[in-house]
Each structure stands twice: as structure tokens, then as C-alpha cells.
Amino acid sequence: MFTGIVTDIGRIIELEKRGDLRARVETKYDMSTVAIGASIACDGICLTVIKTGSNWFDVEISAESVEKTHLKFNTWVIGTSLNLERALRVGDELGGHIVSGHVDGVVEIVDIKDEGDSTRFVLLAPSDLQKFIAPKGSVALNGTSLTVNEVHSSKFGVNVIPHTKEVTTWGSSKIGDHLNLEIDTLARYVARLKEVNEEIAHSAG
């Protein structure tokens, strides 16, 4: 489990396709504290560390994960920056919201506007996930916990403050970029509860 609070910006230094996709990620983490088999969220994708070095770690991404994430748009190349977060430990502060690292779908940035010191990003959501996105609700975008400001049909907006742009990859985001979306687990359960109630009401009628 994760919190959606990015703790490092990593950089891809090697990529290799050998059945699955294998990536080597440069990081500022103290790799002496990262065990083989540990989980690290890379752009919101929960991945298992399979090898480590002094300032890097290797991960493998299955073909299924590639197809369900922004990787299907070839977003990872040598030099690509990634939002990183190590797995939540007992006693850690929960600064964002509970994030599983299981990507639900991919959104596209369709508009960017400065609003004071912050920046408003407007994103296009997949049709099957729109019902889970609500104003003032939480979403994880490329592993970053953000609050939804408004929802208009298939689009929704989030505000990103200067600090977030500095410590994540949001500072280099542009229109047309594809981002990994993980919806809030609570929103999923609320939507399912609504469906069940509607089914019950329909059967009773």
C-alpha cells in the first residue's frame, strides 16, 4: 500500500524487452534499505524490486501491466523521469490517501492553466471510470494523491501547487500527456453500493 505522496523523482537509465519489460531506475533512495522483493510505486504502478545497485533498482513490468497503464503509449524511454514512492510501513504518516498501486485506467491532459501560483490541469477520463470521479474526492495520477476540483461529463480538473510541481514530474507535464489513474477505493465501494441498492429497488418494483 502507498499514500500517493511522492518521495523521489527517479530516472530510467536502462530498458530491455525480454518477454516482459525490464527497467533500471536511478534513485536517491538509500538502496541499502531496499530489499529484493520490496514494492516501489513507479508513476503509480506497484512494481517489485528484482535487483539493486548503489543508486538504482531493477523492476519487471508484465505485458498485462503495460497494456493497462500509460506504458502502452511508450511513455518510458531512457531518461524518462518517474514519480517514486516506497511502500507504506506501519507507523508512517498517511499524508495523502490509501493507494494500492493498481492502475485502473489512463487519462489524458487536455488543458493546462495557471491559477495564481498553482496550475489547473484538466484531464479526460475513460468512460468506464467517470462514475468514480467526484468533486472533492481523491484520485492518484502517476502516483500523486490529488483532490478533484470539478467534474464536467468526461473531464475533471485538479490543482497542482508549486511544491508538488517541484518534487514530482508534474512540473514538466504538458497537454497530450497520458497519466496513470487509480480511483479512490472508497469511491469504488460507494458506487457499488449504489448499484446494489438500485438492483434491489428494481427487483422490488
One domain for residues 47 and 116: no
Determine the pLDDT at residue 161. 96
Mean pLDDT of all residues in 91-113: 87
Residue 198 counted as domain residue: no
Give the residue among 111, 83, 107, 84 at the shortest CA–CA distance from 169. 83
One domain for residues 76 and 139: no
Question: Which amino acid appears at position 89 of this protein?
Answer: R
One domain for residues 79 and 157: no
- Alpha-carbon distance of 92 to 121, in angstroms, equals 29
Query: What band does 195 get if pLDDT is binned at 50, 70 and 90?
Result: low
Residue 126 counted as domain residue: yes
Residue 91 counted as domain residue: no
- Alpha-carbon distance of 58 to 60, in angstroms, equals 7
Determine the pLDDT at residue 23. 98
One domain for residues 78 and 140: no
Structural domains counted in the chain: 2
One domain for residues 133 and 70: no
Which of 34, 57, 86 is where one domain is finished?
Answer: 86
Which of 34, 56, 86 is where one domain is finished?
Answer: 86
One domain for residues 80 and 135: no
* All cell numbers assigned to 200: 434491489
Strand pairing class (81-86; 8-18): antiparallel
Only one residue has cell 548503489, namely: 54
Determine the pLDDT at residue 111. 98
DSSP symbols for 78-124: TT-EEEEEEPP-TT----S--B-S---EEEEEEEEEEETTEEEEEEE
Residue 147 counted as domain residue: yes
| Element (DSSP H or E) covering residue 191 | helix 185-204
One domain for residues 111 and 188: yes
- Alpha-carbon distance of 144 to 3, in angstroms, equals 8
Query: What band does 92 get if pLDDT is binned at 50, 70 and 90?
Result: low
One domain for residues 132 and 174: yes
- Alpha-carbon distance of 146 to 157, in angstroms, equals 10
Residue 17 counted as domain residue: yes
* 153 and 80 Cβ atoms separated by less than 8 Å: no
CATH number of the domain bearing residue 53 = 2.40.30.20
Question: Three-state DSSP class for 77?
Answer: coil
One domain for residues 79 and 115: no
Which of 51, 86, 121 is where one domain is finished?
Answer: 86
Determine the pLDDT at residue 88. 84
Determine the pLDDT at residue 196. 66
Residue 144 counted as domain residue: yes
Handedness of CA 14, 7, 67, 147 (dihedral sign): negative
One domain for residues 23 and 75: yes
- Alpha-carbon distance of 146 to 31, in angstroms, equals 28
Mean pLDDT of all residues in 128-157: 95
| Domain enclosing residue 130, as ranges | 105-192
One domain for residues 17 and 46: yes
Mean pLDDT of all residues in 27-51: 97
One domain for residues 74 and 134: no
Query: What band does 90 get if pLDDT is binned at 50, 70 and 90?
Result: low
Residue 81 counted as domain residue: yes
